[in-house]
Amino acid sequence: MKKTSTRLADGRELIYYDLRDDTVRDAVDRRPLDRTVTSSEIRRDPLLGDSVAVASHRQGRTYHPPADECPLCPTHGDRLSEIPDSSYDVVVFENRFPSLAGDSGRCEVVCFTPEHDASFAGLTEEQARLVLDAWTDRTAELSHLPSVEQVFCFENRGPEIGVTLGHPHGQIYAYPFTTPRTALMLRSLAAHKAATGGQNLFDAVLERELAGERVVLEGEHWAAFVPYAAHWPYEVHLYPKRRVPDLLALDEAARTEFPQVYLELLRRFDRIFDTRDGGGDPVDEPPTPYIAAWHQAPFGALAEFDGVTRDDFALHLELFTIRRTSGKLKFLAGSESGMSVFINDVPPERAAERLREVASS
Protein backbone atom coordinates (compact mmCIF):
# COMPACT_ATOMS: atom_id res chain seq x y z
CA MET A 1 0.00 0.00 0.00
CA LYS A 2 1.19 3.50 -0.87
CA LYS A 3 -0.15 6.46 1.08
CA THR A 4 -0.11 10.01 -0.33
CA SER A 5 -1.41 12.95 1.70
CA THR A 6 -2.41 16.26 0.11
CA ARG A 7 -4.70 19.23 0.73
CA LEU A 8 -7.92 20.33 -0.95
CA ALA A 9 -8.51 23.94 -2.00
CA ASP A 10 -10.19 24.81 1.31
CA GLY A 11 -7.41 23.29 3.43
CA ARG A 12 -9.00 19.92 4.24
CA GLU A 13 -6.75 16.87 4.23
CA LEU A 14 -7.13 14.23 1.50
CA ILE A 15 -5.24 10.92 1.46
CA TYR A 16 -4.84 8.47 -1.42
CA TYR A 17 -4.31 4.78 -0.63
CA ASP A 18 -2.91 2.99 -3.67
CA LEU A 19 -2.28 -0.66 -4.47
CA ARG A 20 0.81 0.18 -6.55
CA ASP A 21 3.89 1.70 -4.95
CA ASP A 22 4.81 3.62 -8.10
CA THR A 23 1.53 5.57 -8.32
CA VAL A 24 2.03 9.35 -8.38
CA ARG A 25 -0.64 11.62 -6.92
CA ASP A 26 0.11 15.25 -7.70
CA ALA A 27 -3.22 16.56 -9.02
CA VAL A 28 -4.27 19.94 -7.60
CA ASP A 29 -7.77 20.82 -6.45
CA ARG A 30 -8.81 23.53 -8.95
CA ARG A 31 -12.09 24.50 -7.28
CA PRO A 32 -12.42 28.08 -5.94
CA LEU A 33 -13.39 27.01 -2.41
CA ASP A 34 -13.43 29.22 0.67
CA ARG A 35 -12.01 27.86 3.92
CA THR A 36 -14.40 25.45 5.60
CA VAL A 37 -16.37 26.97 8.49
CA THR A 38 -18.12 24.62 10.92
CA SER A 39 -20.30 25.12 13.98
CA SER A 40 -20.06 21.71 15.63
CA GLU A 41 -20.81 21.70 19.36
CA ILE A 42 -21.09 18.81 21.85
CA ARG A 43 -23.86 19.12 24.44
CA ARG A 44 -24.28 16.62 27.29
CA ASP A 45 -27.75 15.46 28.33
CA PRO A 46 -27.88 15.74 32.15
CA LEU A 47 -30.64 13.14 32.50
CA LEU A 48 -29.40 10.41 30.16
CA GLY A 49 -25.71 11.18 30.54
CA ASP A 50 -25.06 10.94 26.80
CA SER A 51 -23.85 13.56 24.34
CA VAL A 52 -25.43 15.20 21.30
CA ALA A 53 -23.54 16.86 18.46
CA VAL A 54 -25.22 20.08 17.31
CA ALA A 55 -24.03 20.92 13.79
CA SER A 56 -26.29 23.44 12.06
CA HIS A 57 -23.91 23.91 9.12
CA ARG A 58 -24.87 20.43 7.88
CA GLN A 59 -28.22 21.76 6.68
CA GLY A 60 -26.46 22.91 3.52
CA ARG A 61 -24.72 19.64 2.68
CA THR A 62 -24.94 18.06 -0.77
CA TYR A 63 -28.20 16.15 -1.16
CA HIS A 64 -28.83 13.47 -3.81
CA PRO A 65 -26.93 15.08 -6.71
CA PRO A 66 -27.30 13.54 -10.19
CA ALA A 67 -24.66 10.95 -11.06
CA ASP A 68 -22.80 13.32 -13.38
CA GLU A 69 -22.36 15.77 -10.49
CA CYS A 70 -21.29 13.25 -7.85
CA PRO A 71 -18.61 14.82 -5.61
CA LEU A 72 -17.07 11.40 -4.84
CA CYS A 73 -16.26 10.44 -8.42
CA PRO A 74 -12.79 11.32 -9.71
CA THR A 75 -12.25 14.67 -11.42
CA HIS A 76 -12.58 14.51 -15.23
CA GLY A 77 -11.72 17.52 -17.35
CA ASP A 78 -13.76 20.50 -16.19
CA ARG A 79 -16.02 18.38 -13.98
CA LEU A 80 -14.33 19.01 -10.64
CA SER A 81 -15.01 16.92 -7.56
CA GLU A 82 -13.73 16.29 -4.03
CA ILE A 83 -11.05 14.03 -5.53
CA PRO A 84 -8.67 16.09 -7.72
CA ASP A 85 -7.13 13.10 -9.51
CA SER A 86 -8.73 11.39 -12.52
CA SER A 87 -8.57 7.98 -10.80
CA TYR A 88 -8.02 6.42 -7.39
CA ASP A 89 -8.04 3.09 -5.56
CA VAL A 90 -9.21 4.20 -2.10
CA VAL A 91 -9.31 7.78 -0.90
CA VAL A 92 -10.06 9.39 2.46
CA PHE A 93 -10.74 13.07 3.09
CA GLU A 94 -12.09 15.36 5.77
CA ASN A 95 -15.83 15.77 5.46
CA ARG A 96 -16.81 19.19 4.10
CA PHE A 97 -19.92 19.13 6.32
CA PRO A 98 -18.71 17.35 9.46
CA SER A 99 -20.83 16.44 12.47
CA LEU A 100 -17.68 16.69 14.60
CA ALA A 101 -14.85 19.17 14.11
CA GLY A 102 -12.01 20.83 16.00
CA ASP A 103 -12.16 20.18 19.74
CA SER A 104 -15.37 18.19 19.09
CA GLY A 105 -13.58 15.51 17.05
CA ARG A 106 -13.26 14.85 13.34
CA CYS A 107 -15.28 13.30 10.50
CA GLU A 108 -13.83 11.72 7.36
CA VAL A 109 -15.23 10.20 4.17
CA VAL A 110 -13.84 6.92 2.78
CA CYS A 111 -14.39 6.27 -0.93
CA PHE A 112 -14.06 2.54 -1.63
CA THR A 113 -13.84 2.70 -5.43
CA PRO A 114 -13.95 5.27 -8.26
CA GLU A 115 -16.85 3.34 -9.87
CA HIS A 116 -20.05 5.25 -9.15
CA ASP A 117 -22.45 2.34 -9.64
CA ALA A 118 -20.39 -0.25 -7.76
CA SER A 119 -20.81 -1.51 -4.19
CA PHE A 120 -18.54 -2.83 -1.47
CA ALA A 121 -19.83 -6.34 -2.21
CA GLY A 122 -18.56 -5.95 -5.78
CA LEU A 123 -14.98 -5.17 -4.78
CA THR A 124 -12.19 -7.66 -5.36
CA GLU A 125 -10.47 -9.18 -2.33
CA GLU A 126 -7.44 -6.99 -3.08
CA GLN A 127 -9.60 -3.85 -3.07
CA ALA A 128 -11.39 -4.86 0.14
CA ARG A 129 -8.04 -5.49 1.83
CA LEU A 130 -6.93 -1.99 0.83
CA VAL A 131 -10.05 -0.55 2.49
CA LEU A 132 -9.22 -2.52 5.64
CA ASP A 133 -5.69 -1.11 5.55
CA ALA A 134 -7.09 2.42 5.14
CA TRP A 135 -9.47 1.94 8.11
CA THR A 136 -6.54 0.70 10.18
CA ASP A 137 -4.26 3.58 9.20
CA ARG A 138 -6.90 6.20 9.91
CA THR A 139 -7.68 4.61 13.28
CA ALA A 140 -4.00 4.87 14.18
CA GLU A 141 -3.66 8.47 12.99
CA LEU A 142 -6.88 9.76 14.54
CA SER A 143 -6.16 8.09 17.88
CA HIS A 144 -3.21 10.47 18.32
CA LEU A 145 -5.34 13.62 18.08
CA PRO A 146 -5.71 15.15 21.58
CA SER A 147 -9.46 15.63 21.13
CA VAL A 148 -10.17 12.02 20.10
CA GLU A 149 -11.19 9.23 22.49
CA GLN A 150 -12.87 6.73 20.17
CA VAL A 151 -12.65 5.99 16.41
CA PHE A 152 -15.68 4.61 14.58
CA CYS A 153 -15.43 3.30 10.98
CA PHE A 154 -18.77 2.59 9.30
CA GLU A 155 -20.72 2.37 6.07
CA ASN A 156 -24.31 3.50 5.48
CA ARG A 157 -25.75 1.98 2.32
CA GLY A 158 -29.01 2.85 0.59
CA PRO A 159 -31.41 5.80 0.55
CA GLU A 160 -33.61 3.97 3.10
CA ILE A 161 -30.78 4.40 5.60
CA GLY A 162 -30.55 8.12 4.82
CA VAL A 163 -27.57 8.07 2.43
CA THR A 164 -27.48 11.30 0.41
CA LEU A 165 -24.61 10.36 -1.95
CA GLY A 166 -25.07 7.22 -4.05
CA HIS A 167 -21.37 6.62 -4.66
CA PRO A 168 -20.03 3.64 -2.61
CA HIS A 169 -18.42 5.17 0.44
CA GLY A 170 -18.20 5.00 4.20
CA GLN A 171 -17.29 7.37 7.00
CA ILE A 172 -15.04 7.60 10.01
CA TYR A 173 -16.10 9.50 13.14
CA ALA A 174 -13.47 10.36 15.73
CA TYR A 175 -15.36 11.15 18.94
CA PRO A 176 -14.08 13.23 21.86
CA PHE A 177 -15.80 10.82 24.27
CA THR A 178 -16.62 7.14 24.70
CA THR A 179 -19.89 6.54 22.87
CA PRO A 180 -22.97 5.41 24.85
CA ARG A 181 -23.16 2.06 23.01
CA THR A 182 -19.55 1.27 23.87
CA ALA A 183 -20.01 2.41 27.47
CA LEU A 184 -22.87 -0.09 27.86
CA MET A 185 -20.62 -2.88 26.58
CA LEU A 186 -17.83 -1.86 28.95
CA ARG A 187 -20.18 -1.86 31.95
CA SER A 188 -21.45 -5.33 31.03
CA LEU A 189 -17.86 -6.44 30.53
CA ALA A 190 -16.87 -5.12 33.97
CA ALA A 191 -19.86 -6.74 35.69
CA HIS A 192 -19.15 -10.12 34.07
CA LYS A 193 -15.47 -9.92 34.95
CA ALA A 194 -16.31 -9.21 38.61
CA ALA A 195 -18.98 -11.92 38.83
CA THR A 196 -16.86 -14.66 37.23
CA GLY A 197 -13.48 -13.99 38.79
CA GLY A 198 -11.95 -12.36 35.73
CA GLN A 199 -13.55 -14.15 32.77
CA ASN A 200 -14.16 -12.20 29.57
CA LEU A 201 -17.73 -11.61 28.43
CA PHE A 202 -16.85 -11.25 24.73
CA ASP A 203 -15.08 -14.61 24.82
CA ALA A 204 -18.09 -16.21 26.48
CA VAL A 205 -20.49 -14.78 23.89
CA LEU A 206 -18.37 -15.93 20.96
CA GLU A 207 -17.92 -19.41 22.43
CA ARG A 208 -21.66 -19.77 23.00
CA GLU A 209 -22.59 -18.59 19.53
CA LEU A 210 -20.07 -20.84 17.77
CA ALA A 211 -21.59 -23.83 19.56
CA GLY A 212 -25.15 -22.87 18.58
CA GLU A 213 -27.49 -22.64 15.60
CA ARG A 214 -27.05 -18.99 14.67
CA VAL A 215 -23.65 -19.22 12.95
CA VAL A 216 -23.85 -17.79 9.42
CA LEU A 217 -20.33 -18.51 8.20
CA GLU A 218 -16.99 -19.33 9.76
CA GLY A 219 -13.39 -19.14 8.57
CA GLU A 220 -10.14 -20.01 10.24
CA HIS A 221 -9.75 -16.52 11.74
CA TRP A 222 -13.25 -14.96 11.60
CA ALA A 223 -16.75 -16.00 12.59
CA ALA A 224 -20.12 -14.42 11.71
CA PHE A 225 -23.35 -15.10 13.59
CA VAL A 226 -26.78 -13.66 14.27
CA PRO A 227 -26.74 -12.74 17.99
CA TYR A 228 -29.14 -14.32 20.47
CA ALA A 229 -30.85 -10.97 21.16
CA ALA A 230 -30.60 -9.41 17.69
CA HIS A 231 -32.22 -5.97 17.58
CA TRP A 232 -32.76 -5.90 13.82
CA PRO A 233 -34.57 -8.31 11.45
CA TYR A 234 -31.30 -9.35 9.83
CA GLU A 235 -28.28 -8.55 12.01
CA VAL A 236 -24.89 -10.27 11.89
CA HIS A 237 -21.88 -9.82 14.14
CA LEU A 238 -18.46 -10.56 12.69
CA TYR A 239 -15.65 -11.33 15.17
CA PRO A 240 -11.99 -12.22 14.79
CA LYS A 241 -11.53 -15.51 16.66
CA ARG A 242 -8.49 -14.10 18.45
CA ARG A 243 -9.72 -11.28 20.66
CA VAL A 244 -8.10 -7.91 19.87
CA PRO A 245 -9.18 -4.41 20.99
CA ASP A 246 -9.01 -2.66 17.62
CA LEU A 247 -8.12 -2.88 13.95
CA LEU A 248 -4.48 -2.09 14.68
CA ALA A 249 -4.07 -5.34 16.63
CA LEU A 250 -5.24 -7.71 13.88
CA ASP A 251 -2.48 -10.05 12.75
CA GLU A 252 -1.62 -10.70 9.11
CA ALA A 253 -3.55 -13.98 8.96
CA ALA A 254 -6.77 -12.25 10.06
CA ARG A 255 -6.18 -9.36 7.66
CA THR A 256 -5.69 -11.76 4.77
CA GLU A 257 -8.86 -13.74 5.48
CA PHE A 258 -11.09 -10.74 6.24
CA PRO A 259 -11.90 -9.80 2.60
CA GLN A 260 -13.02 -13.36 1.80
CA VAL A 261 -15.38 -13.57 4.78
CA TYR A 262 -16.71 -10.02 4.66
CA LEU A 263 -17.38 -9.96 0.91
CA GLU A 264 -19.24 -13.27 1.20
CA LEU A 265 -21.32 -11.84 4.04
CA LEU A 266 -22.24 -8.71 2.07
CA ARG A 267 -23.18 -10.78 -0.99
CA ARG A 268 -25.48 -12.90 1.14
CA PHE A 269 -27.13 -9.73 2.43
CA ASP A 270 -27.88 -8.78 -1.17
CA ARG A 271 -29.62 -12.14 -1.64
CA ILE A 272 -31.80 -12.18 1.48
CA PHE A 273 -34.83 -10.65 -0.19
CA ASP A 274 -34.57 -12.33 -3.61
CA THR A 275 -38.09 -13.14 -4.80
CA ARG A 276 -39.59 -14.77 -7.89
CA ASP A 277 -42.76 -14.10 -9.83
CA GLY A 278 -45.39 -16.71 -10.71
CA GLY A 279 -43.28 -18.00 -13.59
CA GLY A 280 -40.24 -18.57 -11.41
CA ASP A 281 -38.27 -15.63 -12.80
CA PRO A 282 -36.38 -13.34 -10.39
CA VAL A 283 -38.13 -10.11 -9.43
CA ASP A 284 -35.90 -7.06 -9.16
CA GLU A 285 -35.48 -5.95 -5.55
CA PRO A 286 -33.57 -2.77 -4.67
CA PRO A 287 -30.16 -3.46 -3.14
CA THR A 288 -30.39 -4.36 0.54
CA PRO A 289 -29.94 -1.21 2.66
CA TYR A 290 -27.55 -1.76 5.54
CA ILE A 291 -25.28 -0.28 8.16
CA ALA A 292 -21.86 -1.85 8.76
CA ALA A 293 -20.26 -0.64 11.99
CA TRP A 294 -16.85 -1.40 13.49
CA HIS A 295 -16.72 -1.47 17.29
CA GLN A 296 -13.25 -0.65 18.65
CA ALA A 297 -12.01 -0.05 22.17
CA PRO A 298 -11.78 3.62 23.18
CA PHE A 299 -8.32 5.13 23.37
CA GLY A 300 -9.06 7.11 26.50
CA ALA A 301 -8.81 5.98 30.13
CA LEU A 302 -11.28 3.27 31.22
CA ALA A 303 -10.97 3.84 34.98
CA GLU A 304 -14.73 4.26 35.42
CA PHE A 305 -15.36 0.70 34.22
CA ASP A 306 -14.07 -1.20 37.28
CA GLY A 307 -10.86 -2.90 36.26
CA VAL A 308 -11.56 -3.21 32.54
CA THR A 309 -8.62 -2.54 30.20
CA ARG A 310 -8.51 -1.95 26.45
CA ASP A 311 -7.32 -5.51 25.96
CA ASP A 312 -10.56 -6.82 27.50
CA PHE A 313 -12.57 -5.30 24.65
CA ALA A 314 -13.22 -7.33 21.49
CA LEU A 315 -13.09 -5.70 18.08
CA HIS A 316 -16.13 -6.70 16.04
CA LEU A 317 -18.29 -5.53 13.17
CA GLU A 318 -22.08 -5.29 13.25
CA LEU A 319 -23.92 -5.56 9.94
CA PHE A 320 -27.68 -5.04 9.86
CA THR A 321 -30.48 -4.02 7.55
CA ILE A 322 -33.63 -2.05 8.32
CA ARG A 323 -35.59 -4.09 5.74
CA ARG A 324 -37.67 -6.78 7.46
CA THR A 325 -39.12 -8.44 4.37
CA SER A 326 -39.43 -7.72 0.66
CA GLY A 327 -40.73 -4.18 0.20
CA LYS A 328 -41.13 -3.49 3.94
CA LEU A 329 -38.88 -1.58 6.33
CA LYS A 330 -38.40 -1.86 10.08
CA PHE A 331 -39.20 1.54 11.56
CA LEU A 332 -38.07 2.62 15.01
CA ALA A 333 -41.41 3.58 16.47
CA GLY A 334 -42.63 4.27 20.00
CA SER A 335 -40.99 1.45 21.95
CA GLU A 336 -37.68 1.63 20.10
CA SER A 337 -37.34 5.41 19.77
CA GLY A 338 -39.09 6.39 22.99
CA MET A 339 -37.81 3.70 25.35
CA SER A 340 -34.90 2.00 23.52
CA VAL A 341 -36.71 -1.35 23.74
CA PHE A 342 -36.43 -3.10 20.37
CA ILE A 343 -39.09 -5.43 19.00
CA ASN A 344 -37.70 -7.81 16.37
CA ASP A 345 -40.09 -9.26 13.77
CA VAL A 346 -37.69 -12.00 12.61
CA PRO A 347 -36.48 -14.70 15.06
CA PRO A 348 -32.66 -14.65 15.08
CA GLU A 349 -32.56 -18.40 14.40
CA ARG A 350 -34.65 -17.95 11.25
CA ALA A 351 -32.50 -15.00 10.13
CA ALA A 352 -29.35 -17.12 10.48
CA GLU A 353 -30.99 -19.97 8.57
CA ARG A 354 -31.94 -17.63 5.76
CA LEU A 355 -28.42 -16.22 5.53
CA ARG A 356 -27.04 -19.75 5.27
CA GLU A 357 -29.58 -20.58 2.53
CA VAL A 358 -28.46 -17.72 0.30
CA ALA A 359 -24.77 -18.61 0.21
CA SER A 360 -23.34 -17.05 -2.94
CA SER A 361 -21.84 -19.28 -5.58
Active site residues: 169
Strand partners, 328: 325
Strand partners, 236: 319
Count other Cβ atoms within 10 Å, centred on residue 310. 16
How many CA within 13 A on the CB side of residue 143?
18
Strand partners, 320: 235, 291
List own/partner pairs for 12-16 with CB under 8 A and 24 or more apart: 12/36, 12/93, 12/94, 12/96, 13/93, 13/94, 14/82, 14/83, 14/84, 14/91, 14/92, 14/93, 14/94, 15/91, 15/92, 15/93, 15/134, 16/85, 16/88, 16/89, 16/90, 16/91
Q: Which DSSP category does 1 fall into?
A: -
Q: Which DSSP category does 58 fall into?
A: G
